[in-house]
């Protein structure tokens, strides 16, 4: 029903009242039953060699978020001001020997 986007009220009568079928579906969804079923079926199919695990990413459809793509920043972040104003200690070779 969820895959085809059909209303639960259109569930065949042989499955009983639609609201009880939906309640069972939601309970299994919340407690992870569907996930366990999927993982078991996937493991069995993988053991039989029925799954190929090749992944292909086409860069024409994989886009970064505007903040990750170098978009212009508005204003200055308060946290970056604090980091920039904090003096950093530089370690020299003589400091490293003294620490040992």
* Per-residue pLDDT tens digits for 46-76: 999 998 888 877 766 666 777 776 666 666 6
More confident residue, 14 or 6: 14
Tokens of 79: 């946290």
Query: pTM of the full predicted structure?
Result: 0.45
d(CA 28, CA 35): 9
Q: How much of the chain exceeds pLDDT 90, in percent?
A: 31
């Amino acid at each position: 029903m969820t895959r085809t986007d059909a209303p639960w009220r259109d569930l065949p009568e042989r499955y009983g009242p639609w609201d009880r079928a939906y309640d069972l579906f939601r309970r299994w969804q919340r407690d992870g039953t569907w996930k366990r079923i999927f993982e078991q079926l996937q493991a069995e199919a993988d053991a039989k060699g029925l799954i190929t695990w090749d992944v292909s990413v086409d860069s024409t459809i994989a886009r970064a978020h505007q903040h990750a793509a170098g978009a212009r920043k508005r204003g200055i972040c308060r946290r970056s001001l604090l980091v920039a104003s904090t003096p950093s200690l530089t370690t020299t070779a003589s400091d490293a020997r003294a620490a040992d």
